[in-house]
Amino acid sequence: MEDKKFPVFIDGNIISFTPQCSEHIELYSKWMNDPKVRRYARWEMPRTVEDIKRWFEPREGRVQRFIGFEIWHKKDKKPIGQCGLAMIDWINGWANAFLYIGDPEYWNKNIATEATEMLVEYAFNELNLHKLQGGAAVENIGSWSVAEKIGFKFNGIQKDVMYVDGKYRNVKTYGILKEDWMKKRMK
Ligand SMILES: CC(C)(COP(=O)(O)OP(=O)(O)OC[C@H]1O[C@@H](n2cnc3c(N)ncnc32)[C@H](O)[C@@H]1OP(=O)(O)O)[C@@H](O)C(=O)NCCC(=O)NCCS
């Protein structure tokens, strides 16, 4: 366990979000190469420490289309995963939400649910995005259950878009509009 020397960006109950941290590159690589973690996350190629180091290189004027957080477990005082927004379209106001808990010991403890709520709140009430999207393999029950629990609407099935363990898999796609999130929040 380490002390929390990294800045808290968003504070939750079980977890907080901190900026991604170059001191944790080896941990990120461990998580992203773990067969259990990467199975439905579409990380079919190995991630080297050097690949991940590139995340921290200067952006040199490119538009920021990605925002990533480290998920920090407050009680156990350690990083346990990552989440964020990818393919951000600042003009039309949408982004893809992504999330993983890198240490399977922390699965099914409601952590992704809390993290997704924090991420949605950030996307709508800080960044003023209009819509978030996400998708998960039908077999990845934990992932789409989280989306449904917090109010993402089921958009439909994309057939055969993921090839896992020698079989094509269907992906359940979801979206949530800011106005629907705000209505839910007011209840
Ligand atoms: C998917 C993932 C983020 C879920 O995180 P988590 O912290 O376990 O999620 P939560 O505990 O908040 O919620 C999971 C829900 O799914 C349910 N669930 C999980 N596996 C289930 C199963 N096999 N059958 C039925 N329900 C299941 C849980 O019971 C829970 O619902 P509940 O709160 O109503 O009981 C995590 O498993 C993970 O990081 N997996 C590896 C990477 C990945 O696949 N990321 C997503 C890519 S789309």
3-state SS class at 178:
helix
CATH code assigned to 10-186: 3.40.630.30
* 187 pLDDT tier (thresholds 50, 70, 90): confident
Instruction: Give the H/E segment covering residue 13.
Output: none
pLDDT digit string, tens, across residues 81-90: 999 999 999 9
Question: Which sequence spans correspond to the domains of the chain?
Answer: 10-186
Q: Tokens 């990818």, residue? A: 86
Determine which residue's CA is closest to atom 12 belonging to ligand 1.
Answer: 110
Q: Is 147 in the pocket of ligand 1 (CB under 6 A)?
A: no
pLDDT of residue 59: 81
Q: Is 99 in the pocket of ligand 1 (CB under 6 A)?
A: yes
Give the burial string for 78-112 (b: 16+ CB within 10 Å, else e): ebbbbbbbeebeeeebbbbbbbbbbbeebeeeebb
Other residues' Cβ atoms within 10 Å of the Cβ of residue 21: 16
CA atoms within 13 A on the CB side of 114: 20
Residue 13: Cβ-neighbour burial (10 angstroms; 0-12, 13-18, 19+): exposed
pTM: 0.95
Catalogue the E-assigned strands of 26-166: 67-73, 78-89, 94-101, 131-137, 153-164
pLDDT of residue 60: 83
Cβ proximity of 50 and 40 under 8 Å: no
pLDDT digit string, tens, across residues 98-157: 999 999 999 999 999 999 999 999 999 999 999 999 999 999 999 999 999 999 999 999
What mean pLDDT value characterizes the chain? 95
Q: What percent of the chain has pLDDT over 70?
A: 97
Q: Is 173 in the pocket of ligand 1 (CB under 6 A)?
A: no
